[in-house]
Structures are given as structure tokens and as C-alpha cells.
Amino acid sequence: MSAPEAAPRGIYWLASYPKSGNTWFRVLINNLLADGPAPVSINALDHGSISSARSWLDGLLGYASANLSADEIDRLRPALYRWSLRRPGIVHHKTHEAWTQTVDGEPLLCRQATLGAVYLLRNPLDVAVSAAAHWRCSIDAAIERMGAPDAALSNTRTSLRPHVRQRLLSWSQHICSWTDTPDLNCLVLRYEDLLADTAAQFGRASAHLGLPSDPARIARAVQHSRFDELARQEREQGFRERPPDAQRFFRAGRRGGWRQQLTPAQVARLIADHGALMQRHGYVDCSGEPCD
Amino acid sequence: MLRAAYGLRFDSALPLPELLPTDGLAADADVQVRFGNVDEAGLAGGTQVGPFAWASPDALWLQVPRIARYLVRRGCEIVIDPAPGIDDDSLRLFLLGSCVGALLFQRGLLVLHGNAVQIGEHCLVCVGPSGAGKSTLAAAFLRRGYPVIADDVTPVDQHGRVLAGIPRIKLWQDSASALSINTEPLRRIRPVLEKFDVPVPAPPGDTAVPLRWVYLLQPENRADVAIEAVPGLQRFMPLRDNTYRQNFLAGMGLGSEHLALIGRLASQVRLSRLRRPTAGFTVEAMVDAILDDVAAHP
């Protein structure tokens, strides 16, 4: 008789470039797990951490990451995620980071501890509009950042942030870092497809993540995570994850909003910067024209 | 020369200029800090409590790769095994942080992760996660003439008194700039960081000051500063959550003893949430709000 197969243990990453639907996806997961009669509160989103959350990392380290430089912290991080393997079971953590290596050449998010990922992808024309509102900068500045190969979040040397430095790279590099790394077990999910058929796409992702995926339960989670519900909750209670400078977190939650917001020059710049990846994921056609 | 902090006398092979000098012979020291070999493999007979930490009822083993390994034993000894070529500032920073924190736990104290400010005969402690603004708030109190008696590591004894620690505040450049503190003459806490050692006057009088108020710093998406008292039964969890390096307590065999200390403290202090906007620089408004609250609830 063969020994029973050991229960899987490790991390599934919920990975995305900022403003690509990650928070909505976590709302869906929370509603799926709660499976309650009413929607979960957007201010009580639980289940898993964020790869860069300083208080979580400090708790595992046993000393203050504030006393280390960003590169020094990164060198220690693979061991912190590897620590997850000590406990049986699967955990799901959010990340906005690109899949990168430490200065020692080790995958930052720890290859050994990583079971896989769901990578959420959104039309960069819409990301630029949403990110500008989120970062409280001009659309041009957001486009600049999306094209910068050295872009990073919480990248300051002169103050302490609740998150450690997160390397984004450019929007195109961010995607490739996850989708082109061999054997990462990465399911790519387009935000637009998730919007168009939430139940089918979320069901597919849930199955990939080792979460419950029976259709009735998925349908309830989808119903409790409708955009008008999230916007209503934010209007009534506020949202603790909204950045201090942004006016609202759940803004439009739709596709194609860029048509009213971007100038032709801004569209051209994004397509010039990211055309190859946009074509690969169906955001521009083979002549370089936007599909949406 | 012996150095004093937290009511203890340190005899240290690593110079500790941040601590106040004190009289006495080496034989009188409460704590020995020496260089020595610390086993790379961890703590024999201990439990690994994190990728870089081991604990047992009488020892804590800590590794900061490329800086040092530390062994903290029985509340009276710290052994440092430095990495080749490392500077003294880096060694001191982790020694005076997590290692001294563990040593104080081993001596039976409750250690809060926060800063203590003396107000009259009593003191308040501000606790909260890293980056919540504890040190900036302490620096703002100092500027208004209130003695800062502990920074980051704040031990509370059985009688509910805070033991005065190291007379300094560690401040990031942005906070210093916002408080108009010139960092030019100040020492960096480590060569690689834009974070400075702001010396503060040694506290007047007793080195043990009764703790009266605890404020939980809570940055939120809001426009104003607000204080909200936490009722008795709900004080326990926030105090537990703001204990210094609480993940290691069970491994140190201090779980139940420590919970009893928290329970006692919860019944002795006035605990409030200090909600503040994440955006903007509101530290002066926070000081005003706290001073009003302290005056209303002496």
C-alpha cells in the first residue's frame, strides 16, 4: 500500500500590477470562504497577507526591518516566505511585486514555497487612468511610471512606510516576470474576462488556487462582490485600503473607460511602450489598434 | 565603564555611548555584553521560532545575516558573534533593540513596543505598528518640553512602572525635517540609513515612572485626529498585540506569565485609540489631543 500523498503546503500568490482588480479578486475570495448570507465588509478583508507588509515580515524576522536597507531586507525575504512551509496547508497572499531575484540571484518570493499564482491582468489603457487617480498624479506621470524599468513602490530611504520596497518594473516586464518564468504554475486571468463572466472565470481561478469551486457557492460569492455593493460599502463606511491621497478606491470598475480619459498621444505612448504585450493579451490587434 | 538603562547596569565589550555612564565596578554589573562564538546551527534544546530566531526558557538566539549572531541568556548576558568587517553601529542597533527586549522579558518584565513620555509624576506610552509615527510623536513631545523616557523598547515592571531606557529617539530624515530638526550634526544610527540618533536629556528624578495612559496609534483614512477610550474588557488584546516581538514569547516559555502581566496592566491604565489621518503631517494636533485627554483624565 502506498503512503497517502502529503497535503500540499505553500503559498499561492494573487499577483497583479496595481489597479488591475486584485482587491476585487480578494473580495471574491473572502465572500467565497465566508459563504455567508450577506456580503463581507470591505473593511474586514482577511485571509492571507501582502508580500510586502512590514509588520508581518518583522514578526517573522524577530527584529525591525526598519534597521535594514531595502536590498538587505530583500535578501532575507525568501527565508521568511519559506517559513510558511513549516505549517501544513495552503496560504494565499497578495502581491503587487514583479517576480524578481534578490542581489544573490535567489527568487525574492521564494521558489520553493511557491505553489503557484493567479496573475490578474488589465488593459494598460485603463490601468493608466485608474493608477493616476490612485497615485494622485497626472495620467502622463502614471504612463511614465508604467514604462519605467526601475519602478518600485514604497521606495524611500528617508522615511518608514508600512510596506517594504516593492519592485514593479515596467508594466510589460511585470507581466513577463510572472507569465514567462518556467514552471511557476501561473494562471493568467484578464480583468476584462473576469468582468464579462465573473462566475466562470472566478470558478476557474478558485480551482487553480485549491479553493472551493462548486458553482452554487461561486455564484453566491459573485453576487456578494458586485461592484455596486463595493461602491455602496465604501460610500457608507469608507475603505481602509484606500490610499490617503485618492478620493475613492472603487471608482468605475468597468472596461474601456480610457476612451473618455486618454488623449490620442497618451494612447499612442502606451501602445509604443507596451504594444507587444498588449497584442499578446488581446488589447491591440495585429495592426496595433486598440481592441476595446 | 559601566552604562545604565532600564534600571540595569551594563558591562559591555561593545562601546555603548547611547547609554548613560554610571558608577560601579564590573562585578556590580547586572548585564554582561561580550563577544564570543554563537553556534551557527541555532540553540541546542531550544525551539526555532522564526527563520532567524531560536528560543528556550532561558535563552534567545537571533541571527541578522551579514551583521551578527546574538545569544541572550538568563536576563544577564548577551553574546555577540559579529560578521567579518561589520561596524559597531550596526551591531549596537540590533543589540539595543530585539536583544535587550528579550533580556528584559527574561527578567520578568512586560515589554511594550512603543515610546514613553513623562507627564508630571506619571507617563504615557504610545504603541503601534512600525511606521505608525511613534518616534515622531515622541520627538514632538520632547520639543514641547516633556521628557522622553523610552524609545521603541518600553519595559513595564510588576508595579506598572515604566523603566527609563536609552535617552534618545531614532528619527527618519523626513520626520526630522517636518519637526525642523537639523540632522547635520546628528549621528546616523547605521551608515546605510537616513535615520538619526536624536539625543534627549536624561529623565529627571526616578528611573521608574508609573504608567497611566496608553495610546494605540492608528493611521486611518480620515481627516482629523480623534481619541477614543477602550473599555476595560477590550484592553487586553491591543496590549498583547503591541507587546515587543510577541511571536517569540511562547518559545521563551513566557506565554502564561506574560498574559498575567498584561491582564494586570489592562486594569491599571487608561487605554485609548488615537486615530489619525494617514495623509499629511498631524503630529502637533496629536500632541494637543493627547494633552487634552491626559488633562481630562488625570
Cβ distance of A244 and B277 shorter than 8 Å: yes
A82 touching B (Cβ < 8 Å): yes
Are A205 and A189 in contact by the 8 Å Cβ rule? The answer is yes
Q: For chain A, say whether B221 makes contact (Cβ under 8 Å).
A: yes
pLDDT of A71-100, one tens digit each?
Answer: 999 999 999 999 989 988 999 999 999 999
Q: Where are the domains of chain A?
A: 9-122+151-246
pLDDT 10s digits, A28-70: 999 999 999 999 999 888 778 999 999 899 999 999 999 999 9
Which residues of A fall within a CB distance of 8 Å from B131? Answer: 54, 66, 160-162
Q: Which residues contact B63 (CB under 8 A, 6 or more apart)?
A: B52, B53, B69, B70
Q: What are phi and psi of B156, to 5 degrees?
A: -120, 130
Say which CATH architecture domain B111-296 belongs to: 3-Layer(aba) Sandwich (3.40)
| Angle of the A264-280 helix axis to the A124-135 helix axis, nearest 10 | 120
Q: Tell me which chain A residues have a C-beta less than 8 angstroms from the C-beta of B183.
A: none
Across the interface, of B49, B98, B175, the residue whose CB is closest to A63 is B98
Check A160 against B172: CB less than 8 A apart: yes
Q: Do A64 and B130 touch (CB under 8 A)?
A: yes
Asked whether the beta carbons of B19 and B4 are under 8 A apart, the reply is yes
The Cα–Cα gap between B118 and B123 comes to 4
Best probe of the A interface among B61, B64, B70, B135, by most A CBs < 10 A, is B64
* Residues contacting residue A79 through CB under 8 Å, at least 6 positions apart: A110, B51, B52
In angstroms, the Cα distances linking A105 to A78, A130, B213 are 11, 33, 48
Measured distance CA(B169)–CA(A139) in Å, rounded: 40
pLDDT at A163 over 60: yes
Contact A62 B62 (CB under 8 A): yes
pLDDT tens sequence across A102-111:
999 999 999 9
CB A121 within 8 A of CB A189: yes
Name the residue ranges covered by the structural domains of chain B: 2-107, 111-296
Rounded CA separation A25/B185 (Å): 50
Q: Which residue of A has its CA nearest to B178?
A: A159
Residue B256 touches chain A, beta carbons under 8 Å: no
Cβ-based burial of A236 (10 A; exposed 0-12, middle 13-18, buried ≥19): exposed
Do you know the residue count of chain A? 292
Of all residues in chain B, the one with the smallest CA distance to A68 is: B193
Find the closest chain B residue to A81 by CA distance: B51
Per-residue cell: A71: 536590498
* CB B239, CB B262: distance < 8 Å: yes
Say which of B53, B175, B194 has its CB closest to residue A62.
B53
CA dist A53 → B129, B130, B131, B137, B244 (Å): 11, 10, 11, 22, 17
Contact B82, B68 (CB under 8 A): yes
Residues of A in contact with B172 (CB under 8 A): 158-160
Cα distance from B219 to chain A (closest Cα, Å)? 10
**For every residue of chain B, which 3-state class applies, written as one string?**
CEEEECCEEEEECCCCCCCEEECCCHHHCCEEEEECCCCCCCCCCCEEEECCEEEECCEEEEEECCCEEEEEECCCEEEEEECCCCCHHHHHHHHHHHHHHHHHHHCCCEEEEEEEEEECCEEEEEECCCCCCHHHHHHHHHHCCCCEEECCEEEECCCCEEECCCCEEEEEHHHHHHCCCCCCCCEECCCCCCEEEEECCCCCCCCEEEEEEEEEEEEECCCCCEEEECCHHHCHHHHHHCECCHHHCCCCCCHHHHHHHHHHHHHHCEEEEEEEECCCCCHHHHHHHHHHHHHHCC
Nearest chain B CA: its distance from A67 CA (Å): 7
User: pLDDT of A217-231, one tens digit each?
Assistant: 999 999 999 988 988
A260 near B CB under 8 A: no
- Whether residue B189 lies within 8 A of chain A, CB to CB, comes out as yes
Residues of B in contact with A66 (CB under 8 A): 130-131, 195
- How far is Cα B54 from Cα B62, in angstroms, rounded to an integer? 7
The residue in chain B having the minimum alpha-carbon distance to the alpha carbon of residue A83 is B51
Sole residue written with cell 521608574: B208
CA distances from B229 to A123, A186, A202, B283 (A): 47, 47, 42, 19
For A69, the closest of B97, B129, B193 (CB atoms) is B193
Closest CA to B149 of B119, B109, B118, B180: B118
How many other CB atoms are found less than 10 A from the CB of residue A46? 11
In sequence order, what are the residues at sequence separation of 6 or more whose Cβ sits closer than 8 angstroms to the Cβ of residue A268? none
Distance from CA of A61 to the nearest CA of B (A): 6
Answer for the pair A118, A203: CB distance below 8 angstroms, yes or no. no
Q: Which amino acid is at B23?
A: D
pLDDT in 10s for each residue of chain B, 298 residues? 899 999 999 999 999 999 999 988 888 899 999 999 999 999 999 999 999 999 999 999 999 999 999 999 999 999 999 999 999 999 999 999 999 999 999 999 999 999 999 999 999 999 998 888 899 999 999 999 999 999 999 999 999 999 999 989 999 999 999 999 999 999 999 988 999 999 898 876 668 999 999 999 988 877 789 999 999 889 999 999 999 988 888 888 887 888 899 999 999 999 999 998 877 778 999 999 999 999 999 9
Burial profile B59-78: b = 16 or more Cβ within 10 angstroms, e = fewer: bbbbbbeebbbbbbbebebb
Contacts of A54 in chain B (CB under 8 A): 129-131
Are B76 and B225 within 8 A, CB to CB? no
Helix (H, G, I), strand (E, B) or coil at A260: helix
Is B28 part of the contact surface with chain A (CB cutoff 8 Å)? no
Q: Is the ipTM of this complex over 0.95?
A: no
Of A6 and B296, the one with more pLDDT: B296
By the CB < 8 Å criterion, does B241 face chain A? no
Name the residue facing A63 among B66, B94, B172 (closest C-beta): B94
Which of B172, B186, B241, B252 to probe by mutation at the A interface, max A CB count within 10 Å?
A: B172
pTM: 0.92
Nearest Cβ partner for A238 among B98, B173, B221: B221
**Chain A residues with CB-CB distance to B225 below 8 A:** none
For domain A9-122+151-246, give the CATH superfamily: P-loop containing nucleotide triphosphate hydrolases (3.40.50.300)
For testing the chain B interface, which of A159, A241, A247 should be mutated: the one with the most B CBs within 10 Å? A159
Q: What is the pLDDT of residues A118-161, one digit of tens each?
A: 999 999 999 999 999 888 899 999 999 999 999 999 998 898 88
> Would you say A55 and B130 are in contact if contact means Cβ atoms under 8 Å apart?
yes
| B93 near A CB under 8 A | yes
